[in-house]
Structure 1
Amino acid sequence: MTSGARNTVETRIVDDPAEVTAAWMTEVMRAAGSDVEVTGLRYEPVGTGQTARSFRFHLEAAPDQAGRCPASVVVKIAGGADDIRRRLRSAYRNEVGFYTTFAGRALVRVPRCWSAARSADGLRFTLVLEDAHPARAGSQLDGCTFDQAALAVRNLAGLHAPFWNAEDLTEDAGWLVRLDDAGMEFLGSVVVAAAARFTERYQAELGPGDADILRRAAGLVAGWGRHTSSRHSLLHGDYRLDNLLFSGHSDLGDSDVGDSDVQAVDWQTLEVGFPGRDLAYFLSTALAPADRRSHEAALVAAYHRCLVEHGVTGYPVDLCFEDYRRGMLQGPLITMIGCVYASTPRTDSSDRMFLSMAANACAAIRELGVLDLLAT
């Protein structure tokens, strides 16, 4: 990369929304192929800012720009002190890398990205994204309907299918994580430590037997690769309701998406791995146990049909359901690590969210016989 190219990238990185001017926004959009002139803007914070800060920018354009300039965009930037940012450098790298390397090849619905840039030291980044408003984020605490879950799993198939068993995923993305046996062993040690702290913190709130399931599930992570090495794809890693934006009607039939839509955001946990992990994590945490029991076969089948429609072959639906079972450790893994090593203060709301995810995941692990399946 030339010095001039580096300077161009640096000009697209801000650390304060006040640094974004109409001229800056015009330059960013024109660099992305949008022939617009932004003449004015104002902004407001959006989201909760768990690992970064996001702002909605309302744009004003020249009179002759009607229909060419978006009414608003979302600008996402790093937040917190440098010590926090150092812990999150890989997350910033993953999200910028997804939009610059993989978003154009994926069939998953994501916001349009006008700019994705990261500083050389990895401590600052800036994304300029399509504003999905008035779409609304899902809620782990509220759960979702069958139709929303069906929309989400079909969308997930659009992420997995284009990269199904692809061997070139890391050729242009050497930064992309793909854990080997040693990596899984290390991850296992992290999850075991997180499980000890999580079950101690919530021992009074966890349901009967759930603490034991969480600790046993953590103990299986180190050897998980023996059961999940047969298939791989690009994984979101944290494909849950809070990271999905739903719009349109919610009363869809299983085979008719109508004018409803869903977009996936927050690509900071991107990696190469077993596709069943994303599917199991979403369904086991998004749906209450009774709803999951009633609908999981149909939802796995909906995901599988979309994989086939997108070109995946030699993968029968019964094997897809088996992979769904094999991926179930993702629920306790992400829940406990996310809780114990969170960079934001603990709140009543976050406690309820983590407990809900843990309880739903434990119910799925228990009912689907996952611990016995993965212990062999």
Structure 2
Amino acid sequence: MTIPRGPENVTPAWLGSVLGVGVSRVDVTPIGTGQTGATYRVAATYEAEQSDVPTSFAVKLSAQDDAVRERVALGYRSEVEFYSQIADKMRIPVPRAYHTEISDDGADVVLLLADMAPAVQGDQIAGCSPAEARLAVEALAGLHGPSWCDPQWMDLSAIVMPKPGDDDAAKGLGEVSRMAADIVIDRLGAKIAPQDQETLVAAMSSVTPWLMAEPKRYALMHGDYRLDNMLFDPDRTRVTVVDWQTVGIGLPGRDLAYFTGTSLEPAVRSDIERDLVERYHRSLLEFDVADYDLETCWSDYRLGAVQVPLLVALGTAFASTTERGDDMMMAMLSRGCQMIRELETLELISSYPSP
């Protein structure tokens, strides 16, 4: 086993073994506040001058809590699969992976990634600017376009969400989603406006027909495409997308709507979302996506808005939480429920034939 269990195991010998160079010293410091993993910055001093490897890396390890590690093992597999099999075939900007390794049971993992400093993480609670949103939606096309309706990705082993056409899985997630909505309202109902509670319950009751609505149009999805999973260069000319533990295959508009619905204040979102969808659509067409007009893209975007309360409900009901985590989830839920009402997403779902 060569996977570091904790930061104390990220030694000069370990780093040198995976890079194939002599390392005399490492300085390991924590970065980020991930709840399902632990990330560190590793500054390396080499025994001899190196021209082809950097002096600083980001190392992502399993969560230090054993119960969390076992619960999110599928997410670890998903992220390793992304960096080892998918990333090089996409055009979405991600950190370079220098080494990935995972145990047979999926509970121990290490990702040695490029350090993107001085890029800074987006602020999920505060929301992003229109300029940052434009970067994010154009970058997203670099994931969806190269994988558009390509059946080879159906064979991935670590897909988190139900695949298109898997009706049994869609029904199963529908049942879990309704349960999650009840848990969230029971636990945090005092923080949720009555109209948002109503929208949450209605949306989670629509998950099964929602998943079945457009099975023939699909692409690889990030699954949790929001500000906390983005790093912006200081001049806001580039975004890098991280945290690939929720890779899925499904209607691409779900990623797009999830981003705008969680990462923009509602007034800003409603003012610029048409422009953002048009930018995304133009960027998508650069990857030779055919027979996909702007109005269909807009309809998919409206449909995709259920991704917001779905992930918020599942995350709040079944994952460990913190005070900041609850505040973040409540902000995302409020934004997403308002988006669903304004875009008449539930009415759109009901216009499809019953499954």
* Range class of TM-score, shorter chain: over 0.9
How far 1:297 sits from its partner (Å)? 0.4
1:315 match = 292
Query: Equivalent residue for 1:174?
Result: 157
Shift of 1:226: 2.9
List aligned pairs for 1:226-241, cutoff 5 A.
Answer: 226-241=212-227
Superposed displacement of residue 208, structure 1 = 4.2
Output the CA distance in 1 between the equivalents of 2:38 and 2:313. 23
Counterpart amino acid of 1:188?
Answer: G
SS in structure 2 opposite 1:162? coil
Q: Does the residue aligned with 1:43 lie in a helix, a strand or coil? A: strand
8 Å contact from structure 1 (residues 77, 126) kept in 2: yes
The equivalent of 1:245 in structure 2 is: 231
1:193 paired with 2:170, answer no
Distance in 2 of aligned mates of 1:223 and 1:296: 25
Structure-1 residue corresponding to 2:331: 356
Offset at residue 273 of structure 1 (A): 1.1
Inter-partner Cα distance in structure 1 for 2:124 and 2:9: 34
Find out whether 1:225 has 2:211 as its counterpart.
yes
**In structure 1, distance between residues paired with 2:31 and 2:206:** 38
- Which residue does the alignment assign to 1:213? 199
Q: How far does residue 89 in structure 1 lie from its aligned partner after superposition?
A: 1.1
Q: Report the Cα distance in structure 1 between the residues aligned to 2:254 and 2:233, rounded to whole angstroms.
A: 25
- Once the two structures are superposed, what CA deviation does each residue of 1:16-44 show, in whole Å capped at 9, x if it has no partner? 222222232122123xxxxx543221111
In 2, distance between residues paired with 1:37 and 1:124?
25
Superimposed CA distance per residue, residues 272-314 of structure 1 (whole angstroms, 9 cap, x where no aligned partner): 1111110010011111111011100000111111111122121
State the Cα deviation string for residues 38-80 of structure 1 (Å, max 9, x = none).
3221111111130011111011124532x43312101111124
Alignment of 1:149-168 (within 5 A): 149-168=133-152
Kept in 1: contact 2:303–2:349 (CA 8 A): yes
Return the offset for 1:207. 2.5
8 Å CA contact retained: 1:228, 1:326: no
Contact 1:46 1:54 in 2 (8 A): yes
For 1:22-61, list aligned pairs within 5 A.
22-30=12-20, 36-61=21-46
**What amino acid is the match of 1:147?**
A
Q: Structure 2 counterpart of 1:19, which letter? A: N
Asked if 1 retains the 8 angstrom alpha-carbon contact of 2:170 and 2:212, the reply is no
Note if contact 1:61-1:69 (Cα within 8 Å) is conserved in structure 2: no
Q: Under a length normalisation based on structure 2, what TM-score does the superposition of the two structures give?
A: 0.94
Distance of 1:226 and 1:24 partners within structure 2 = 47
In structure 2, the partner of 1:332 is 309
Instruction: Tell me, in whole angstroms, the C-alpha distance in 2 between the residues paired with 1:305 and 1:159.
Output: 14
Q: Which residue of 1 aligns with 2:7?
A: 17
State the secondary structure of the residue aligned to 2:191. Answer: coil
- Offset, 1:194: 1.0
Indicate the SS of the match to 1:168.
helix
Q: Note if 1:371 corresponds to 2:317.
A: no
Q: Secondary structure at the match of 2:290?
A: coil
Give 1:351's aligned amino acid: D
Alpha-carbon distance between aligned partners in 1 of 2:334 and 2:159, rounded to the nearest angstrom: 31
Shift of 1:315: 0.8
Alignment RMSD (CA, Å):
1.5
1:246 and 1:201 map into 2 onto residues whose CA distance is 34
Q: Contact 1:56/1:74 (CA < 8 Å) preserved in 2? A: yes
After superposition, give the CA deviation of every residue in 1:73-125 in whole Å (9 maximum; x if it has no partner).
Answer: 01111124443322111111101111111011011000000011101121101
Unaligned runs of 5+ in 1: 1-9, 31-35, 251-259
Work out the CA distance in 2 between the residues paired with 1:323 and 1:128: 36
Residue in structure 1 matching 2:78, options 79, 94, 98: 94
Aligned-partner SS, 1:169: helix
* CA–CA separation in structure 1 for the residues paired with 2:198 and 2:234: 41
TM-score by length of 1: 0.89
Secondary structure, counterpart of 1:299 in structure 2: helix
8 Å contact kept, 1:141–1:353: yes
Aligned pairs, number: 348
Q: Is the 8 A contact 2:159 2:246 kept in 1?
A: no
Asked if structure 1 preserves the Cα contact closer than 8 Å seen for 2:118 and 2:234, the reply is no
Whether the 8 Å CA contact 2:213–2:349 is kept in 1: the answer is: yes
